Amino acid sequence: MVISVAIVEDNDDLRMAASYILRASAKVSVSGEYEDAEDFLKDLKIHPPDIVLMDIGLPGMSGIEATREVKQRLPQAQVVILSVFEDDENIFQAICAGACGYLTKPVMPGQLLEAVDQAFAGNSPMSPHIARKVLKLFREFAPPPKVDYQLSERELEVLELLTHGYDLKRIAEKLFVSHFTIRAHVRNIYEKLHVHSKSEAVAKALKERLLPKR
């Protein structure tokens, strides 16, 4: 199967070089070459690519914004970032926008063709130092391991209502129990979570995702 690739790059020399490399491969067809995201997005449904090679520092709409648009309009298309930017913020934002890969320029011909193959196969092509940064970002932003604090179903109900801003009286009314019963539940919650106030309990519940999804 021939892989359709669109190139979005404002540097004429780099865009033409990437096009030349791709067109030399029998496995690839270039669906379009664009120097800005706006023109590319106009053609997206007319010439839908399998793979998009996307620069970040484009005139007008950035490559990160364009990536987000691509994934909304054509979810099956895979976006590989080609950029000189190596900072954590751009890498993080690009991945959050839906990019499947991130290569830093300059990109060697073999590396470019391999990235297209990998992205088409469902993998995530990345420059080695970018992959290390991604792992570092994952460790920093990953939620902490979930701890079982042995909260009862009723205590979880009370904790959830606390996170919604209910005071003890309103919680008692909502759960059809006495104010004293709710105070006992709250004391148990504080003890099990190792906290000393409502704000600490709520913060811990949200940070550690203790409440069941509804």
Domains contained in the chain, CATH given: 3-141 (3.40.50.2300), 153-207 (1.10.10.10)
- pLDDT per position as a tens digit, 134-167: 888 777 766 667 788 999 999 999 999 999 889 9
CB 28 within 8 A of CB 22: yes
Q: How far apart are CA 103 and CA 61, in angstroms?
A: 20
Quickly state the pLDDT bin for 214 (edges 50, 70, 90): low
CB 100 within 8 A of CB 79: yes
Reduced 3-state DSSP string for the chain: CCEEEEEECCCHHHHHHHHHHHHCCCCEEEEEEECCHHHHHHHCCCCCCCEEEECCCCCCCCHHHHHHHHHHHCCCCEEEEEECCCCHHHHHHHHHHCCCEEEECCCCHHHHHHHHHHHHCCCCCECHHHHHHHHHHHHHHCCCCCCCCCCCHHHHHHHHHHHCCCCHHHHHHHHCCCHHHHHHHHHHHHHHHCCCCHHHHHHHHHHCCCCCCC
pLDDT score for 212: 78
pTM beyond 0.75, yes or no: no
- pLDDT per position as a tens digit, 11-29: 999 999 999 999 999 999 9
The mean pLDDT value for 120-141 works out to 88
Return the closest-CA partner of residue 103 out of 67, 123, 69, 131: 131
